Homo-oligomer: A and B are copies of this chain.
Amino acid sequence: MSRDQNGDLRGTSQETLRPVSAGLEEIIHRPIPVLDHGFIRVVDYMGDDAAVVQAARVSYGRGTKQVNEDRGLIRYLMRHSHTTPFEMAEIKLHVKLPIFVARQWIRHRTASVNEYSARYSVLDKEFYIPDVRDLAAQSASNKQGRDDHTVDNPDWILTLLREDAERSYLNYRRLLNQNEQGEIMDSTRTGLARELARMNLSLNFYTQWYWKTNLHNLLNFLRLRADQHAQYEIRAYAEKLLHVTKEWVPLTFEAFQEYKLGAVTLSASALEVVKLMLAGQIVNQAKSGLSQREWSELMSDLGQKV
């Protein structure tokens, strides 16, 4: 779709006086596969760990001689949620993803997006069919999520999904007065407008976009979408992005794991429980002021048996 989609651009490096991320230069322009037909591809970036440090230092100026080590400063910023220096690095991705994933992804508003438009162009015949092991049943306890076991009629489900998507696409093309190769079917008439015909496609069809955001907002995206409560399909993208982020800004990534991904927040009441426990007292849910669910989560976080 654009000049850099073939790998040729990787062959033509140029000189720059800008900061360079060795990790990203290794993977830039190369598609990283996700799901059955999707990918993430780093298209451009600006700054690295040093950009975060540089921005923090302008704020702290000459008064910060003591915090003179980059790693320590980045950890300090992350720990205290001083987020503005992390806005100083930027990344741009080319992403191919199912429409129902795109609908979740787009809710992150502080990013720039240019999406492939089915008003202008005809969509390819590419739709997402889950792997058998991801065909989870509805969870009975969690209204939002999947159960941890799969359905017991996977073949029937996969066949149904595939047949409906095939028919959906065939009829999309027929509405456009085209066969699946894009050839005109009936030369005596024009097809339905593309912007209308697309409504016949189902939400598992793939779309693609350029998505550009800063490091702070990328970390927010990852914190929410690499979480176990996120739907598996968007989490698959987030997990690949965790790897990209680690290559790009290793110090920031390490601090992110320590202070965000691996951290737990204790509510005011939970903190009181922990203090009592450390003082050797026996606390139970009834006395704790916590709901049953909060109590269970706290005990789980603390590695206690319930």
Contacts and interface: CB of A to CB of B under 8 A. Distances in A.
Interface of A: 1-4, 9-10, 12-20, 25, 28-29, 43-47, 51, 54-64, 66, 72, 79, 84-85, 87-88, 90, 92, 94, 98-100, 103, 106-107, 109-110, 112-117, 119-122, 128, 130, 135-140, 143-147, 151-153, 157, 160-161, 164-165, 167-168, 171, 174-176, 189-196, 198-204, 208-210, 212, 214, 231, 257-259, 261-271, 274-275, 277-278, 291, 294, 301-304
A25 to B, nearest CB: 6
Nearest to A161: B200
B137 A88 contact: no
A141 B192 CA distance: 14
A263 B258 contact: no
B277 A121 contact: no
A201 B199 contact: no
A5 to B, nearest CB: 10
Contact of A193 (B72, B147, B258): B147
A44 B46 contact: yes
A253 to B, nearest CB: 13
Nearest to A129: B199
Given A18-B28, A107-B113, A231-B119, A199 B161 contact: yes
A79 to B, nearest CB: 7
A160 B171 contact: yes
Contacts of A198: 100, 203
A2 B114 contact: no
A195 B144 CA distance: 8
Contacts of A291: 72
B302 A143 contact: no
Given A99-B203, A193-B137, A265 B264 contact: yes
Given A16-B18, A59-B114, A119-B231, 7 more contacts: A14-B20, A60-B121, A117-B144, A137-B193, A151-B192, A275-B303, A278-B304
Given A59-B115, A145-B193, A164 B157 contact: no
Contact of A147 (B116, B157, B190): B190
B258 A269 contact: yes
A87 B28 contact: no
Contact of A121 (B10, B63, B151, B261): B63
Instruction: Give the one of A143, A191, A231, A278 with max B CB within 10 A.
Output: A143
Contacts of A17: 9-10, 12-14, 25, 28-29
